[in-house]
Amino acid sequence: MLKISHVNAFYGTSHIIHDLDLEIRKGETFCVLGRNGVGKTTLLRSLLGIGVRTTGSIEFQGHEIDRALTHDRARRGIGYVPQGREIVPGMSVLDNILLGCNARTDRKTDVPPLVWSLFPFLKDHLGRRGTNLSGGQQQQLAIARALATDPSLLILDEPTEGIQPNIVEDIERAIIALNRDHGLTIILVEQKIRFARTAAHRFAILEKGRVAAAGPTSELTHELVHRHMSL
């Protein structure tokens, strides 16, 4: 579904991602791991074309997208849940979700029923301001907004970071269900090894903007975690 070939990424003159190669298969959850500051978010922003200069090739569903604008990549079927959620202030829960519909090519402007089945809390609070929700509820809202784009690939940047424990489990279950029950391909940046092992089919560990280790999740050993992720 997604092929990343010899990709380098830069913020100004700072070289963050170095000659990266990855392939994401249709129908899998792929987990990107690594310490803070190794380039995980930069990699995701490179895939979306958000504020990063890149070289190399990014191919999505057979089409080169490395020169495409961000909204064009979204319309091709890439949904994104950013770190920090980025809920729009002053807008209701419903209006935040419907923002995602702007990326749809079928011009539908209704909320997918899947959103309500995964996050029933949101349906009961459509008129509330999104920024008045708790952190975990805002994360549910950010995922719902991404699902409203009708994506074939969903990219999530640390979706359980800073979330209250009682909602973390709901979000983890929702992510697993999106992949296992609904066939959505997922790229997941995550620090929780337990969740990575539960949710992902394959993984890559980044170190200094390069792939330090990769493979099926069954090969995500304690030794690898200790070597590349321990502080």
pLDDT per residue over 62-74, tens digit each? 999 999 999 999 9
How many structural domains does the chain have?
A: 1
Domain that holds residue 37: 2-85+153-229
Q: Is 146 inside any structural domain? A: no
Token pair belonging to 112: 């997918």
In a domain, 48, yes or no: yes
Residue 98 and residue 109 in contact, taking contact as beta carbons nearer than 8 Å: yes
The enclosing domain of 171 has a CATH number of 3.40.50.300
Interval 160-177 mean pLDDT: 91
Which pLDDT score is estimated for 52? Answer: 92
> Any idea what the Cα angle at residue 138 is, between residues 166 and 143, rounded to 5°?
95
Average pLDDT over residues 9-13: 93
Angle of helix 165-180 versus helix 135-147 axis, rounded to 10:
20
Structure token digits, residue 64: 């080169």
Dihedral of alpha carbons 98, 50, 32, 163, sign: negative
Question: CA 81, CA 186: separation in Å to the nearest integer?
Answer: 11
The residue count of the chain comes to 231
**In the chain, how many H helices and how many E strands?**
9, 10
Express as a percent the part of the chain with pLDDT over 90.
Answer: 84
For residues 140 and 153, give the distance between their C-alpha atoms in angstroms, rounded to a whole number.
17
pLDDT at residue 231, as a whole number: 65
Q: What confidence score (pLDDT) does residue 84 get?
A: 83
Which residues touch 135 (CB under 8 Å, ≥6 apart)? 85, 162, 163, 164
DSSP conformational letter for 82: -
Domain presence at residue 97? no
Q: Rounded to the nearest 5°, which phi and psi values hold at 16?
A: -100, -50
161 is a domain residue: yes
- Are 85 and 142 contacting, i.e. CB atoms less than 8 angstroms apart? yes
Q: In this structure, is residue 93 part of a structural domain?
A: no
Is 31 among the domain residues? yes
**C-alpha span between 90 and 87 (Å, rounded):** 9
